[in-house]
Amino acid sequence: MKIKYITFIILLFGFILQGCDLDRYPADNILYRYSYKNMQDAKEWDNGIYSTLRGKFGGGYILPQEVQADMLNAHAAFGNLYSDFHGWTIKADNEVIQEIYHSYYSALNDVNVVITQLPQLEVKTNDQTTKNHYLGNAYFARAFYYFNLAMRWGMVYNEKTADKDLGIILVTQPATIDKPKRATNSQTYKQILSDLHKADSLLSDVPVKAGNSEISADAVKALRARVYLYMGKMLPAFNEAKELIDKNTYPLIPPYESKPGSKINPREDAFAQMWFYDNGTEQIWQPFVDKENEIPTTTPLYGADLSTTTYWDEKQPSDDITNYNKPPYVPTREVINDLFNSETDHRALTLFEYVYTTVNDKEDRTPLFVISKFKGNPNYATLTSKHWGGYVPNGNQAPKPFRIAEQYLIASEAAYNLGDIPNAEKYLNLLRLSRGVAVTNATGEQLYQEIKKERSRELAYEGFRLWDLRRWKQGFSKRSFQGAKDYYKVPAKFYAPGFDVNIKPDNYMFIWPFPLNETQINNNIINNPGWEDK
């Protein structure tokens, strides 16, 4: 992960200021005064906004919270990747915490340059629309960054106590040398929604279509529905989601019935086309990616093991196509056997693959399921192979930060919490049918459990799970090793030891600590409950 340390930038900027005439050059103009001489400059800044956003949807931006949750187990060869999160032994000086935090604020700095400087650029009448779009993109990006910071470092939103509960540090000027206090949750979410409102207006005339690589008002609406859901504001969450669904611009994959034990043809299967080839109708916004220059942050959960595969190729007949994978984390038994227990769930055929794995000894192997959701687009692969579908997966694929399926889940959960059971059932079952899962007639609490399970299936490993457990006030203790009676069992030696946990719903580590290097510099930061002396 390429990280810019904003704290260092701020300190350096502070020394620069000491030698400047502040009356002549306002602080926010010293570095950026000449950033916008013309529309070409504005275009380059907008390209930077897109490039930075594209890098915030994978890798370290989703894996730490996913391995901290209950749907992954560490492979014995995981190399201690995010081990503090997996074992719930996080400390304030954790380097990952520091890198993610500073990365978001570095991105915010660039966004704030656009928001403060672009409006001052005088343009021709025929450039005004483009200028508005650039500014709308910046407001959208700022709202997205603030929301993601709030998910990690802000206290859980509670309408009754939002005026007192601490949120995040709101920075709206570039390269500030201030040492601000944390805003309240009320102020934090007011800022997020304000930025989304401005983005909505500025992007209202951007054409909308499935798989759009441009940020549109629909992407704004999708983010706003998500924000409202995590705020617990169910009525506006439902309304935003329903409006996107009712437009029918992003239809669900048609109902599909798979057969137990069947294999998919990615070139013919709609769900595989969406994930493996970046094609489909469900993507509200899908950032542009190419093979060389526009590469996203990848999520290394597939772990194609070329070394071991080559070793066995040399020992076995040339027509053997056994795949060997060595990912840092693998799905738990609860995921494979319970969550995806429907034999006709279309998603399972795309999201998981049954392969062999090893640790150090290439001769000592065992079969298990790995996550193939993020294996990568074959068109962006750099190596071919007779294995893994004809290429060596490298994880390079277009991010899918906003899909219509999430909106069905938001509509269903929000409707349930509003007491609107018919709509809760309606949107849940429409999604289930699309995925090859039978409709449910569950009622009451059982219906709510089905809604939560469906959300866990559909959004598996996309970075939501920890935050969902937190808002559902749901702890966990099970992370069982994979295995099924009379089928297969993965021996314990293929898993990293020492990660048994028993997490209560009120565990303070559901909210991360502010980085130690940040609190040492800014003593105005009050850390989250439980982290005060750590």
Q: Is 503 helix (H, G, I), strand (E, B) or coil?
A: strand
271: in domain: no
181: in domain: yes
Q: Is 84 helix (H, G, I), strand (E, B) or coil?
A: helix
- Give per-residue pLDDT as tens, 217-275: 999 999 999 999 999 999 999 999 999 999 999 999 987 665 555 666 666 788 889 99
Q: How far is 452 from 472, CA to CA, in rounded Å?
A: 9
Place of tokens 């719903």: 505
Place of tokens 């998981």: 352
H helices of 421-534, in order, are 421-434, 444-458, 465-471, 516-521
CATH number for the domain harbouring residue 211: 1.25.40.390
Determine the straight-line distance between the first and last CA of the chain, rounded to whole angstroms: 26
Please give the pLDDT value at position 152.
98
278: in domain: no
Q: Is 283 helix (H, G, I), strand (E, B) or coil?
A: strand
132: in domain: yes
Would you say 300 and 328 are in contact if contact means Cβ atoms under 8 Å apart? yes
- Give per-residue pLDDT as tens, 142-196: 999 999 999 999 999 999 999 999 999 999 999 878 899 999 999 999 999 999 9
Place of tokens 């403060």: 116
Low pLDDT (below 70) residues in the chain: 1-31, 33, 256-267, 534
Q: How far is 223 from 140, CA to CA, in rounded Å?
A: 9
CATH number for the domain harbouring residue 480: 1.25.40.900
Q: How far is 207 from 218, CA to CA, in rounded Å?
A: 10
| Residue 274 burial (10 A CB sphere; 0-12, 13-18, 19+) | buried
2: in domain: no
Q: How far is 416 from 409, CA to CA, in rounded Å?
A: 11
Give just the sign of the alpha carbon dihedral 436, 442, 448, 449. negative
Would you say 150 and 116 are in contact if contact means Cβ atoms under 8 Å apart? no
The residue segments making up the domain with residue 490 are 402-497
Q: What does the block give as tokens for 355?
A: 């392969």
Q: What does the block give as tokens for 198?
A: 């401005």
Would you say 484 and 337 are in contact if contact means Cβ atoms under 8 Å apart? yes
Q: At how many degrees (to 10) do helices 217-231 and 185-202 cross?
A: 160
336: in domain: no
Distance, CA of 232 to chain centre: 20
Q: Is 324 helix (H, G, I), strand (E, B) or coil?
A: strand
449: in domain: yes
Would you say 186 and 155 are in contact if contact means Cβ atoms under 8 Å apart? no
Please give the pLDDT value at position 25.
36
Please give the pLDDT value at position 16.
32
Tally of structural domains, the chain? 2
Please give the pLDDT value at position 257.
60
pTM: 0.92
127: in domain: yes
Place of tokens 């560490």: 74
